[in-house]
């Protein structure tokens, strides 16, 4: 096989042994930046961990919206019946990683407002309801009514989901870890999701969670102010 024969070609008819012997590792850099995924461009080791979580959340939301749009553009093959599972997984996981990043960074923000310092620490498991409740408590305790109301929209989305299931593996497997059928498998009547409506929910949640990343800017401004005070007055914060 020539060095780049596999590029833009369907090699599915090749014998597996031949393909395995000639196809390079998918981690190999072959030089075309527009056909390459660079995993660490947005995840530099010296970047705040919360910002890395935001980037991950953004990726999950963007891909879910692309899949939704593809289904809405043409669903004559009923691809949405199965694509809805990776779509839902991406939305749920996107919410999770955004909230984990926000909860950690907001704690830092409130500590710095009191001229205290706290290390970054990502907490929480995969329970998006618990993560959302934690976020709402943080902003409520800080009397941030506007953000609290925005996060209440995210909570409403989660509540609707939890009315059907509290097991987020529903988007990954048709059965639970104990082998029980998930709600949509068990139900005899059609279990449906209107993609036009769902898209509006996802768009607004994405907008709300992305707006939460303003905390990073606030923290940077506080850090700059504290540094200036330290340099000018010798205060040790």
Same domain for 9 and 99, yes or no, is: no
Kindly state whether residues 117 and 9 are assigned to the same domain. no
Assess contact for 104 and 122: CB atoms under 8 A: yes
Per-residue pLDDT of the chain (237 residues; tens, 9 = 90+): 445 555 567 777 788 888 888 888 889 888 888 888 998 888 877 778 888 999 999 999 999 999 999 999 999 999 999 999 999 999 999 999 999 999 988 887 777 655 555 555 656 677 999 999 999 999 999 898 999 999 999 999 999 999 999 999 999 999 999 999 999 999 999 999 999 999 999 999 999 999 988 766 555 555 554 444 455 555 554
- Classify residue 214 by its DSSP letter: H
Number of domains, the chain? 2
Phi-psi region of 31 (alpha: psi -120 to 50; beta: other; left: phi over 0): left
What CA dihedral angle connects 31, 35, 36 and 41, to 10 degrees?
110
Between CA 188 and CA 159 the distance in angstroms is 23
Same domain, 161 and 69: yes
Whether 31 and 49 map to the same domain: the answer is no
Does 202 share its domain with 91? yes
The number of residues making up the chain comes to: 237
d(CA 123, CA 96): 11
pTM across the whole model: 0.84
Phi, psi of 18 (to 5 degrees): -65, -45
Range of the domain at 222: 44-233
């Amino acid at each position: 096989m020539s060095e780049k024969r596999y590029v833009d070609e369907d090699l599915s008819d090749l014998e597996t042994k031949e393909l395995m012997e000639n196809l390079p590792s998918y981690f190999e850099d072959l030089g075309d930046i527009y056909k390459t995924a660079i995993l660490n461009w947005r995840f530099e080791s010296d970047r705040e961990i919360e910002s890395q979580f935001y980037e991950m959340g953004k990726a999950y939301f963007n891909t879910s919206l692309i899949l939704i749009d593809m289904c809405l553009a043409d669903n004559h093959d009923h691809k949405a019946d199965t694509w809805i599972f990776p779509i839902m997984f991406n939305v749920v996981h996107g919410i999770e990683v955004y909230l984990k990043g926000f909860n950690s960074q907001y704690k830092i923000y409130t500590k710095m407002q009191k001229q205290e310092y706290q290390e970054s620490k990502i907490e929480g498991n995969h329970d998006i309801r618990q993560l959302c409740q934690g976020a709402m408590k943080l902003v409520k305790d800080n009397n941030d009514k506007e953000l609290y109301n925005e996060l209440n929209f995210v909570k409403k989305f989660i509540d609707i989901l939890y009315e059907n299931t509290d097991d987020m593996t529903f988007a990954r497997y048709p059965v639970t870890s104990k082998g029980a059928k998930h709600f949509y498998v068990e139900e005899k009547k059609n279990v449906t999701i209107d993609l036009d409506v769902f898209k509006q929910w996802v768009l607004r949640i994405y907008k709300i969670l992305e707006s939460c990343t303003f905390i990073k800017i606030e923290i940077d401004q506080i850090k700059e102010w504290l540094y200036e005070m330290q340099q000018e007055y010798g205060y040790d914060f």
